Structure 1
Amino acid sequence: MSGAGPASPGRGGSALPLPLPLSLSLPGDRRRDVPAAGALLQPVIKDVGEIYARLLDHRPVIQGEIRYFVKEFEEKRGLRELRVLENLKKTIFETNESILPKCEQSMHHNLNEVLQRVQAANDVIRKLQEKEHEQRKVQADKLMAGEEKRVAQREAFLKEQQSKREEVDEEHRKAMERLKEQYSEMEKELAKYISF
């Protein structure tokens, strides 16, 4: 095949015909032989175009993959996602229209009741705290009065003990003086007897 190059596919992937050789050494009329030679090359050119399209043109493969993808996700799955989304939309609409207002009304009613109960409990607790505070204050006052009384009693006891100690010391001193006098008299009497 001299003078013929590979055919480049067009946009549709069909092969363009190759230029025919200018000089063929076939006997007979050249005009008649050229179309016959062109007719022989047409299948070869077509095969080369198909080979090129299969090896280098990936559009048919990509289009096939796209068709397969669409078939898998739209036809086989039966638009499950769309049905799920419709069900979700319906559920959300029902929730917004009927359930949410009922919940809000119930919440306001119950929260008002709970708030009143909490306020009542706070009042009771505050009264209990005040009563306990007063009781502690009374107990603290009693403890202070008792402490002051004990301090006064202790001071009185210490003064009494001091005075008794002084009395005992005084009695002891007097007794010691009496004993000294008695012993000195006894020594004098003994001294009389020793002189004999």
Structure 2
Amino acid sequence: MTGSPRKGEELPVAGGGSKKRDPLGSAAIHPILKDVGEIYSRLLDHRPVIQGESRYFIKEFEEKRGFREVRVLENLKNTVFEANDQTLPKCEQVMRDSLNEALRRLQAGNEMINRLQQREQEEKQLQAEKLIAGEKRRIAHWEEFLKEQHSLKAVMNEEHAKAMERLKEQYAIMEKDLSKQTL
């Protein structure tokens, strides 16, 4: 068993053997042990400091502050209950009213937009029908123009053919006359 010597016990001496220490040597160790104990308690034993801090904490919160925190918590609780009982229902009602008004306005706007889209679609349909009718008229005019041109071409070809016949006859006559005169 190791540790500090008790009264009347023998301490081993360096180098072996078991001799009893003289009273003079034990008197010199006693102040050293006392100093070591003091150093231990100052450096490593934190219980007195912790106890002092604990006392200060308790004194600070129990004596100096009193019930201030309790009053603050009570006020907070009252504020929360008031908000739940009065403010929240008012806010809920205002929100419902505002949302209903917004919904009504949105529905009216949606109806107006639907009517505008319907009118625009009808106008596009009318424009498309006008374009188709105009295209049909142009096609009819074009076909009529082509028929007229074809008939004019036929008339012109006929007149040209008649004119060619007349010219041929005239040149044939002139050739006969010329051959009569040269003979």
Per the TM superposition, whether the score is higher than 0.5 is yes
Displacement of 1:20 in angstroms is 4.0
Q: Which residue of 1 aligns with 2:17?
A: none
C-alpha separation between the residues in 2 aligned to 1:174 and 1:136?
56
Tell me whether 170-179 or 122-131 shows the greater mean CA deviation: 122-131
Tell me whether 121-130 or 40-49 shows the greater mean CA deviation: 40-49
- In structure 2, the CA distance between the partners of 1:161 and 1:24, relative to structure 1 (3 Å rule), is closer
1:192 aligns with 2:180: yes
Displacement of 1:94 in angstroms is 3.7
- In structure 2, the CA distance between the partners of 1:21 and 1:143, relative to structure 1 (3 Å rule), is closer
Q: Which residue of 1 aligns with 2:112?
A: 124
- In structure 2, the CA distance between the partners of 1:19 and 1:161, relative to structure 1 (3 Å rule), is same
The AA in structure 1 aligned to 2:177 is: E
1:59 aligns with 2:46: yes
Correspondences of 1:134-145 after superposition (within 5 Å): 134-145=122-133
1:97 aligns with 2:88: no
Unaligned stretches of 5+ in structure 2? 11-19
Instruction: Identify which of structures 1 and 2 has the higher relative contact order when contacts are C-alpha pairs closer than 8 Å and 6+ apart.
Output: 1
Displacement of 1:148 in angstroms is 1.2
Q: TM-score, normalised by structure 1?
A: 0.65
Displacement of 1:95 in angstroms is 3.0
Displacement of 1:169 in angstroms is 0.9
Unaligned stretches of 5+ in structure 1? 8-16, 27-36
Displacement of 1:93 in angstroms is 3.9
Displacement of 1:68 in angstroms is 9.9
Displacement of 1:162 in angstroms is 0.6
- In structure 2, the CA distance between the partners of 1:25 and 1:62, relative to structure 1 (3 Å rule), is closer
> What whole-Å deviation, never above 9, does each CA across 1:129-187 have from its counterpart, x for those lacking one?
22222222222222212211211111111011111111101111110111111111111
C-alpha separation between the residues in 2 aligned to 1:134 and 1:67?
87
- In structure 2, the CA distance between the partners of 1:24 and 1:168, relative to structure 1 (3 Å rule), is closer
C-alpha separation between the residues in 1 aligned to 2:7 and 2:33?
10
Q: Which residue of 1 aligns with 2:14?
A: none
- Percent identity between the aligned chains? 45
Displacement of 1:62 in angstroms is 6.5
1:146 aligns with 2:154: no
- In structure 2, the CA distance between the partners of 1:190 and 1:97, relative to structure 1 (3 Å rule), is same
Displacement of 1:97 in angstroms is 2.9
- In structure 2, the CA distance between the partners of 1:62 and 1:151, relative to structure 1 (3 Å rule), is farther
1:19 match: secondary structure: coil
- In structure 2, the CA distance between the partners of 1:69 and 1:133, relative to structure 1 (3 Å rule), is farther
Q: TM-score, normalised by structure 2?
A: 0.69
The AA in structure 2 aligned to 1:97 is: D
C-alpha separation between the residues in 2 aligned to 1:154 and 1:184?
43
- In structure 2, the CA distance between the partners of 1:48 and 1:58, relative to structure 1 (3 Å rule), is closer
1:177 aligns with 2:165: yes
The AA in structure 2 aligned to 1:182 is: Q
- In structure 2, the CA distance between the partners of 1:52 and 1:159, relative to structure 1 (3 Å rule), is same
